[in-house]
Amino acid sequence: MDAEHWISSSAVESPDLSSQSCMLAVSGDQVWMGSEDSVIYIISMVSMVCNRQLTEHRAEVTGLALDLDKYSHKVAYSCSAEGTVLVWDVPTLQVRKRFRLSCDRLQSVHCSGGMLWCSSRDSVMEVWRTGSVKSRVHFPEPQRASFSAVVLLSEREELWGACSDSADLHVWRVNDPTRASQRVVLPDCSGCFCMIPVKNQVWVGAAGRSSVKGKLYIVDPERYEVLKELQAHGDRVTALCSAEDRYVLSGAGRLDGKIAIWKVE
């Protein structure tokens, strides 16, 4: 499988595309990109131009998620490294609410069943929408590794976690998060940095252990097996997002500075 398109940093009008931390497809033609410079860049996938910047965060933007509120209005969640979570009204791009979590580097936010799942280095927190923490998940002993990527598979009621210095993916049941129930080992991998669900697959952005610097792994969550291993970028893959389950956008670290667009099979 080859990338359908490559977008270089010069093709999108943002000051620092090479330092992207997370991506979110908000609509069919709009992608939000969180950056190390604390800005959320809104990119038009039609013109490949950054047409808006959101500057309410004060630290690296590390996570983005999309959801519907109780009135079926589209809302987005963003989080930054120092623990701040912002709730955005997507049509108006206004901040509805903000709260702060006490943790060691907040790294991602996910929505499921009326709850937020927020990952930090030391745990994954199940959080009420008010900002109160309900429960915490840790890597199994004796590792107690640091989380670098988390994905929530709502239909399977599973939480998947990875760390930046291991080739292992760990799986927890949401209704019993006290211990991991499954483990998936990625071949020729030195660490994982991002994960997303796409159709009936899990895509993992990682760094290769051999001469290949940036890799993508496509995992079957039913069998907990790697389906494909893709050579992706000249640096570790740090950001992924899905566009209508038809395409996957991957972004990498500073040594690469490109976005690849992959067609989902």
pLDDT (average), residues 140-144: 57
pLDDT of residue 92: 92
Does residue 82 carry a pLDDT above 60?
yes
> 125 near 138, Cβ under 8 Å?
no
pTM recorded for the entire structure: 0.74
Banded pLDDT at 70 (limits 50, 70, 90): low
pLDDT of residue 93: 93
Q: In what order do the strands lie in the sheet with 182-185?
A: 149-153, 158-162, 168-173, 182-185
Kindly tell me the burial class for residue 157, based on how many C-beta atoms sit within 10 Å of its own C-beta (0-12, 13-18, 19 or more): middle
Does residue 13 carry a pLDDT above 70?
no
Does residue 144 carry a pLDDT above 70?
no
pLDDT, tens digit (0-9, with 9 covering 90-100), for 23-53: 888 877 788 989 889 999 998 877 778 888 9
- Lookup: tokens for 101: 């979590």
pLDDT, tens digit (0-9, with 9 covering 90-100), for 199-243: 899 999 999 987 778 999 999 999 999 999 998 788 889 888 887
pLDDT of residue 127: 94
Domain annotation for the chain: domains and CATH numbers: 5-263 (2.130.10.10)
